[in-house]
Chain A
Amino acid sequence: MRWTTAAVVCIAGIVLASGCARRENHSTMLELALENSPNRLDPAFVVDATEGEICSLLYDGLVGFAPDGSLVGALARTWTISDDGRRYEFHLDTHATFSNGKPVRAADIVASFRRVLDPATASPRAWVLARIHGAAEFQAGKDAGIAGLTTPDDSTLVLSLDEPFAPFLSLLALPAARVIDTTTAKSGDAPVGSGAWQLAEWLRSDRITLTPNPHRARSADGVTGIRYRIIPEPFTRTAEFESGSLDVLEIPDAEVPRFLADKKYKDHILKRPELRVFYIGLNNTKFTDVRVRRALNHAINVPAIIRVLASGEAVPAHGSVPPGLPGHHDRPGYEYDPARAKALLAEAGYPNGLSLEIWHRESADGNRVVEAVQGYLLAAGVKATLVTREWSAFKEAVNGGKVDAFLLDWIADYPEAENFLFPLFDTANQGGGGNRARFSDADVDRRLDDAARMVDAGARANAYAAIDSLVYVHAPWIYLYFPTSFHAVSPRVSGYRLPAIYLANDFSAVHKAD
């Protein structure tokens, strides 16, 4: 009896002791969660939104994004653009300092750009800087340097383009154009940067800890650091937030109604319409009849999917440019009409329906959306087989034009309609460039080319809206929706804001009470 009692008491003691110990959450850091572990944080190799978000905290570019998505100076205090749109002159902030104490000079910027364009680096994002005059020659090995980049003095950088490109400034805010200290760069680790934060600890697949850049001015009682924990399961993330160990939670779609109704949380929820579009791309080289593609659009009840699966607040997509961007337009869409879908299919020569495969990546929300689509298609006589693949296999097949249809989303790197329409629908971008639906229309190509050159913002917006309408008529996709995300913030945290672009995150103004 003594022995068993002892054992029982021991176990109970352990459980209780650990329970008690845990209740106190004294962390002065901002505790956040990520679904996936970033693979690389080196700006030359950053390829997705997770990596981009952290990258923008560690590294600055010539320009950056303000929370509302507008461009603001970062390393560059001011700049001028020549009338022909080809020459940019940047005047740098002389106080900018890397986290190791070295000041940032124009030569550092050139060195960073060189590294990204250098074929030996094999950066997957070299295209960001490829428009710079002389970049092509440098990459081909014909030039030792980049002709279009000059530094008249330590705090001035002059950049020339081959052709004017209105959104070019936005490209300079992307991770690939951010500046590192090339003299101390290491591979596998994150290089030294001049951003508001520096990397203190990176335990892969567990957490990433950032501490403030000591050489940047910041408010005295802001958070002492930012800790990202990698938690793949949405359910676990929610549990962690509710037990107090996470400060901010992107609420999983399934839980949004519950959080909105819960009086503990409802006043602490931030909402953000995302600059993002969910769609099912159709292989336009296989489904050549526009009636078939329109039929597939009519077969899906997008509002019902939104209501049940997407927290009810997403906006049905009647185009690819999200609301909030100039170039977005509210046009009538392909209404849910299974009868019409069947009629169109019959007209196109498929009176008994057809079969296709829909490929998608592994993701809880994506899985559900695509299963709903499958169900709707079945009701319209279309038999869809779902194929799950992990990212690289998926990309290879989709980019190679080998799949019938695929679920994907596109998120804005910079807040321009061009960032959607050009990569997604221009013939030159078929495959890996972004146009995975293999859509091709000479008229659209020409208009995109013209719009890129327009300097007047209003004219450009109208032009892009017209292009979006034109593409929509061709129905290269099954258009789904523009999502809205909800974020719950712990009552202890103040000053947390949701920026419009993921690259605009800046936690310098965040405070955490005890």
Chain B
Amino acid sequence: MLQYALKRIFWFIPILLGVATVTFLLLYVLPGDPVLSMVGERYDAATIQNLRTQMHLDDPLPKRYARYLSDLAHLDFGTSYITGVPVWKSIQERAPHTFRLAVAAMTIAVVLGMTIGVLAAWKRGSPFDYLLIGGSVVGVSMPVFWLGVLLIYVFSARLGLLPASGFGDGRLAYLVLPALTLSQASTAYVARITRSSVLDEAGENYVKVARAKGLSEPRLLVRHALRNALLPIITVVGIDFGSYLSGAVLTESIFAWPGLGRFTLDAILKRDLPAIQGSVLFMAAAFMLVNLAVDILYARVDPRVKLGGAA
């Protein structure tokens, strides 16, 4: 296991290098002079040139790439062109918010999703079942930004129950709407997997025997069937968690959530090169770590799965 994990981590480096290089090249190509973001409305050529020299923007490409890589090796992500704050500091400020949102979304996905799935399996075939499953399929298909807007409209503007944006003073209330929105697709998948898994199990012999013996049905379903649903659920949630950490850009934008996704979006739009490079690398690394964790967890839960056959 350890060997496997180490081997995977070893491969992180070339992949991150690839990500870093691709980002560097993309940004080189981005139109727009970052210096202009910094100088406001009225300025002159001398000020521009001063800034360009300070930021080494006029060096030739290979030299800039080399400097970029060497900075990275020292874990120096540079300083934001726009805010003047070290990028690593910004990431440290924003990452916990994204993490909180991701955890909340994951919790909702698992709890709500499994609940819906079990209910649907229990009432299989009834209109309730169709409604639940239909609702969850729609949930996957609805654009995230639209759901977010609808939720704000209903729960904040109309009913005044929940705050529409930001993370306020950290109370749970601020987390509810964004987490619900973010977890939309995951909840739907978890519900479907739970349901089909429960139904599969329900057909098994040992279940029929237990039923004949008079054990109450829901307990059966819950205890035995859910265990089998666990594997695919872990996979889904794990992968999604990884992508939540990568910043759910749209959700964070709509809810003004001060996370990494919005930070990166703003940075891209403002052409804040160091911020973009730093946060993209961080997110890619987080994503890969989570994937690794999911694979390991997967292997522990299901002894049949042998690690090492990774794609």
- Given the interface pairs A18-B173, A204-B93, A396-B36, the reply to whether A8 lies near B115 with Cβ below 8 Å is yes
The stretch of B124-132, B229-237, B253-261, B278-286 in contact with A is B253-261
Chain B residues with CB below 8 A from A207, complex form: 166
How many chain A residues touch B (CB < 8 A): the figure is 66
Q: Are A231 and B165 in contact (CB under 8 A)?
A: yes
Question: Are B218 and A204 neighbours in the complex by a CB distance under 8 Å?
Answer: no
- Residues from chain A with Cβ under 8 Å of B149 in the complex: 235
**How far is B33's CA from A389's CA once the two chains are assembled, in angstroms?**
12
Q: Does B43 contact A (CB under 8 A)?
A: yes
Q: Are A245 and B163 in contact (CB under 8 A)?
A: yes
Among A37, A123, A206, chain B packs the most CB atoms within 10 A around the CB of A206
**A326 adjacent to chain B (CB < 8 Å):** no
Contact of A188 with B84 at beta-carbon distance under 8 Å, contacts A124-B38, A205-B263 already known: yes
Query: Contacts A235-B149, A390-B270, A396-B32: A18 and B47 contacting too (C-beta < 8 A)?
Result: no
- Tell me, rounded to whole Å, the shortest Cβ–Cβ distance linking B180 to chain A: 9
Interface residues on B, range: 35 or more
* A231 close to B156 (CB less than 8 A): no
A1-38 contact mask (Cβ, 8 Å, vs B): 1 or 0: 10110011011001101110111000000000000010
User: Considering the complex, which residues of chain A in the window 415-430 have a beta carbon less than 8 Å from any beta carbon of chain B?
Assistant: 423, 429
Does B41 contact A187, Cβ atoms closer than 8 Å? no
Residue of B nearest to A48 (CB): B40
For residue A495, CB closer than 8 A to chain B, the reply is: no
The answer to whether A7 and B111 have CB atoms under 8 Å apart is yes
Q: Which chain A residue shows the least CB distance to B268?
A: A390
Verify A233–B37 contact, CB threshold 8 A.
no
The answer for the CA separation of A125 and B40 in the assembled complex, in Å, is 8
Residue among B50, B255, B262 making CB contact with A205, cutoff 8 Å: B262
Q: Does A89 contact B (CB under 8 A)?
A: no
B24-45: CB near A (< 8 Å → 1, else 0) gives 0000001111111111111110
CA distance A40 to B83 in the complex (A): 6
In this complex, what residue of B is CB-closest to A16?
A: B161
- B37 near A392 with CB under 8 A, answer yes
Instruction: Indicate with 1 or 0, residue by residue over A213-248, a CB within 8 angstroms of chain B CB atoms.
Output: 000000000000000011111011111101111000
Query: Closest B-chain residue to A411, C-beta based?
Result: B41
Give min CB distance, A191 to chain B, whole Å.
12
Given contacts A10-B111, A204-B90, A434-B41, contact A230 B160 (CB under 8 A): no
Given contacts A4-B218, A206-B258, A245-B163, contact A124 B263 (CB under 8 A): no
- Once A126-B47, A127-B44 are accepted as A-B contacts, the answer to whether A239 and B152 lie under 8 Å apart by CB is yes
B172 touches A18 (CB 8 A): yes
* A47 on the B face (CB < 8 A): yes
Q: Which residues of A contact B115 (CB under 8 A)?
A: 4, 7-8, 11
Q: CB distance B253 to A232 under 8 Å?
A: yes
> Taking the nearest CB of chain B, how far is it from the CB of A129, in angstroms?
13
Q: Which single member of B31, B38, B42, B165 contacts A127 (CB below 8 Å)?
A: B42
User: Once the chains are docked, how many angstroms separate the CA of A329 from the CA of B167?
Assistant: 48
Tell me whether A122 is interfacial, beta carbon within 8 Å. yes
Which chain A residues border B30 with CB–CB below 8 Å?
393
Give A33 to B192 CA distance when docked, in angstroms: 41
Distance from A176 Cβ to chain B, minimum over Cβ atoms (Å): 10
Interchain CB contact under 8 A, A236 and B164: yes
Given A11-B112, A188-B83 in contact, is the A22-B173 Cβ separation under 8 Å? yes
For the complex, is B310 an interface residue (Cβ under 8 Å from A)? no
Q: Does B153 contact A (CB under 8 A)?
A: yes
Q: Is A141 an interface residue (CB 8 A)?
A: no
* Contact of A17 with B266 in the complex, beta carbons under 8 Å: no
A11 touching B160, Cβ below 8 Å: no
Closest to B32 in A: A393
Residues of B within 8 A of A390 (CB): 32, 269-271
Contact A3 B218 (CB under 8 A): yes
Judge if A119 is at the interface, Cβ distance under 8 Å: yes
In the bound complex, do residue A22 and residue B162 qualify as a contact, i.e. CB atoms below 8 Å apart?
A: yes
Whether A393 touches B42, Cβ cut-off 8 Å, given contacts A22-B171, A119-B50, is no
Give the nearest-CB partner of A127 in chain B.
B42
- 21 cross-chain CB contacts under 8 A: A4-B115, A8-B115, A22-B162, A39-B83, A40-B84, A45-B84, A47-B41, A204-B83, A229-B256, A232-B256, A236-B254, A245-B164, A389-B31, A389-B32, A393-B30, A394-B32, A423-B42, A432-B42, A433-B42, A433-B44, A434-B42
Given A18-B173, A205-B258: 12 more A-B contacts, CB < 8 Å:
A3-B219, A18-B176, A22-B162, A39-B38, A40-B83, A233-B253, A236-B165, A239-B156, A242-B157, A245-B164, A392-B32, A432-B41
8 smallest A-B Cβ distances: which pairs? A47-B40, A393-B32, A18-B173, A206-B258, A392-B37, A124-B39, A239-B164, A22-B173
Q: Which residues of A contact B (CB under 8 A)?
A: 1, 3-4, 7-8, 10-11, 14-15, 17-19, 21-23, 37, 39-40, 45-48, 119, 122-127, 187-188, 203-207, 229-233, 235-240, 242-245, 362, 389-396, 399, 423, 429, 432-434
